[in-house]
Amino acid sequence: MKKILILFLSVFTFYSCLDDDGPTYKYEYLTIDSAITPESFTYGEVDTIKIKYTLPNSCYAFDGLYYQKVDTTRIVAGVAIVALDVACTEEERQEEYAFPVKATQEEDYVFKFWKGKNDDGEDVYEEVVIPVNL
């Protein structure tokens, strides 16, 4: 009986310590302002792509890259973590991020850099085709 009581009190104590206020941050996609890509890839080798993105205020911090492979197409966007419970300065910051790409396919690569959404709520991309040298 003592063990059950101790277990119950432990669980109750644990749950009472949890924060029920909800998350204090969220994730958002960042539009790609520009991308610097190589003119071509060489099959089997690694090359670098650099993207520039803008953080709208001090509550935004770059958290990583959204990178989705669909056949020969690569969809690219930045991902930001946004603090919800702090005062933010309105200063925009443009930053740069470089990521490696290994050419593992013989077909041309089609990179679609996310530019945001249009008035109809549809995704808008800038497409860049990068040929592969064998």
Give the pLDDT of residue 96.
Answer: 97
Give the pLDDT of residue 68.
Answer: 97
Q: Please, what are the averages of pLDDT over each run of 10 residues along the chain (134 residues)?
A: 46 50 87 97 97 96 96 97 92 96 97 97 97 95
Give the pLDDT of residue 18.
Answer: 53
Q: In this structure, what are the phi and psi dihedrals at residue 56, rounded to the nearest 5 degrees?
A: -65, -30
Beta strands (DSSP E) in the chain are 25-30, 32-36, 41-42, 46-55, 60-70, 73-83, 93-102, 109-117, 123-130, 132-133
**CB-based contact 125:106 (threshold 8 Å):** no
Give the CA radius of gyration of the chain.
Answer: 22
Residue with tokens 């300065």: 89
